[in-house]
Every structure is written in C-alpha cells, then in structure tokens.
Homo-oligomer: A and B are copies of this chain.
Amino acid sequence: MANDTLKKIGEVLLRAENVLLFPHTNADGDAAGSCQALALALESKGVKCRILMEDKLAANLQFLDSGLFTWDNDIFGKEFDIAIAVDSGEVSRFPKREEVFHRGRTAVCIDHHPTSKPFADYNYIDPEAAATGEIIFDLIGEMGVKVDEKIAQALFTAITTDCGNFQYSNTTKRTFEIAAALTDSGFSLSETSNAIYQNNPVERIKIETRILETMEMIAGGKVAMAYVTKDMLAETGALMEHTEGLINILRGIAGVEVAVFLKEGDEGKVKVSMRSKSYANVSELCSSHGGGGHVRASGCTLEMPMGEALSLMRKEVPGVL
C-alpha cells in the first residue's frame, strides 16, 4: 500500500476541529517530540490538539510539556475528528489507548518504523527517515506553518535522540539539512541538549557504578560481562529501568567485541542481553537458549541462578567470536 502524500494528510488535519495524538508507550524523544511539534503546529492553525499518554512523560522530556499532553482518555469525549498514531506503526504500541484511538472518526499514522501493514485511513511510513520528527518537519512545511522556537526545539529533540546525536547509521544528509533549518528559529540547541542529556537520575549513576564493579573481561578482553541483582537495586534505590544503556558502556570499551549484561528477574530467572560491535553474531547463541533478536543485538532468558548463568556465559560467549 502506497503512502498518502504529506500534502493530503496536512489538508485532512487542517480541516479537523480536534485531533488526538498517540505516541507509543514509554514515549522516547522522537515520539514525544514529534507529537509536541505537530500539536503546536496544528494549534497555531486553530485545530484543537491533545497528546494522549498512558504512562509518565520521562523526566528528561518534561520540558516539552506546554500543557498539550494529557492522561485523560475522555478529553475529547466519545468521538472526535482525528486520531493520529505518531512514531507508532501498530496499534499494539499503545495498548491501553487502543479503544480511544478507535473513537477518532478518521485515523492517521505517521511513522518511520517498518510496518507490516498500514492500519489507518491515511498513512505515511518512511523507514528511510532517521526519526519520525523528520517526517513531521516536512508535514509542517506542507501545512504552511512557520517553525517557531518551540516547534524547532521539539523536532530537534525528536531527531537528535533517534539518531544518537548524529552518530547512528540512520543519520543522512537530510537529517543534517533539517537540523540546519531548525536553527533558523533561534531555539537554544545547547539548552535543549542539556535538558535531554544533563538530567541523569542519581540512582542511575549509583546502579551503573555498582554494576561496573561486577564487570569482568573474558577472552582476552574481547568480551565484557556484568550483571545486576535485585539486591543491588535495593541497595542503591535504583529501578531496573535505570540500567538501560549500561550494555552500551560495556560495548564501548576498546577491544571489546561482545558485551553481555545479565539482569536478575523473577523466580530464579536471569535475563541476558548481548551486543556485538562489528563482526560477532550474537543471535545464534541467544536462539539456542530460546531467545533471539538481531545479529548485533540479541537476548534470552535463562532459568537458573545468577551464579550459574554467569558460568554458562563465560563458557559459551567466547564461541561467538
């Protein structure tokens, strides 16, 4: 199914009286920033917008919230003009709001994730875009809305977070061109980056420190492995979510090809994540334990105590090198 044009989608949106936007759960910078930018643009043209959430807006993205985010499923009542899924190519990406999504008389989807099957009345899916924010930038242009400071800040947030600050391979010429255009609004790039990145919960630093104390180098330094237990979380007051990104520290060590991170789960289970840097295929080993994923990023769950899981990994991981 071919995409509708952004021109057409812009026309449909501008004819609406009210539009409810649906970012995916655990909205990241791209989901939240894209929603905020599009909502601000539509509001400037007199279209009433709200961004419907089902969980908290992350602490480091709260600067985006100018009052358009809502947690009230009934904000627009039993029916409204348009429901638009943003950065969410499947309704399953907002499970607790799916029913509300269907209250929209017209459904729209704008995303950059490859999707099996466009599900909305109007769809624009571009897996070549580094971020949904890039598509929203183009859409806002088609709608004839000037990108002001607030819109630019939201779009920059969307783009910079999804392309790893212009380091990931999804970064293209277009990504830089859009970033250049956003600077015209005069938004503060350094203040925005500070808000996003200089906002680490202290619990994250504490649990990262505890986890890195467990780090061991295997196979002559080609494998870095570390783990976290529930006791370690309790000691530091951290949550499991504060360990997100830890595996990238392990993988970022010079000479390391494979990073392995083990998390103590419920009922004697251990969740294992693996990442490789440039050549090792970690997917097969994870598959052999009932898991899977990609060549460079996979995972599995082991039903054994942490000590045994660590021993098993020490024995098996060097085999993927």
Contact = CB atoms under 8 A, between A and B. Distances in A.
B200 A188 contact: no
A106 interface: no
Interface residues of A, number: 48
Interface stretch (A114-122, A142-150, A205-213, A311-319): A205-213
Interface in A184-229: 184, 188-190, 193-194, 197-202, 205-206, 208-209, 212-213, 215, 217, 221, 224
A166 B183 contact: no
B180 A252 contact: no
A202 to B, nearest CB: 5
A173 B181 CA distance: 7
A30 B177 CA distance: 22
B179 A167 contact: no
A169 B183 CA distance: 11
A5 interface: no
B198 A277 contact: yes
A137 B194 CA distance: 28
Interface string A277-300: 110000000000000000000000
Given A173-B183, A179-B176, A278-B194, A254 B165 contact: no
Contact of A166 (B59, B184, B189): B189
A249 interface: yes
B167 A189 contact: yes
A169 to B, nearest CB: 4
Nearest to A189: B171
Contacts of A249: 200, 205
Interface string A52-85: 0000000110000000000000000000000000
Interface in A251-267: 251-256
Contacts of A171: 189-190
A226 to B, nearest CB: 10
Contact of A253 (B202, B213, B252, B256): B202
Contact of A205 (B165, B188, B253): B253
Contacts of A256: 202
A164 B184 CA distance: 20
Contacts of A172: 183
Given A198-B252, A202-B255, A212-B209, A176 B176 contact: yes
Nearest to A201: B254
Interface of A: 59-60, 160, 164-169, 171-173, 176-177, 179-180, 183-184, 188-190, 193-194, 197-202, 205-206, 208-209, 212-213, 215, 217, 221, 224, 249, 251-256, 277-278
18 contacts: A59-B254, A60-B254, A165-B165, A165-B166, A167-B189, A167-B190, A168-B190, A194-B278, A198-B252, A199-B254, A200-B249, A200-B252, A200-B253, A201-B253, A202-B253, A202-B256, A206-B212, A209-B209
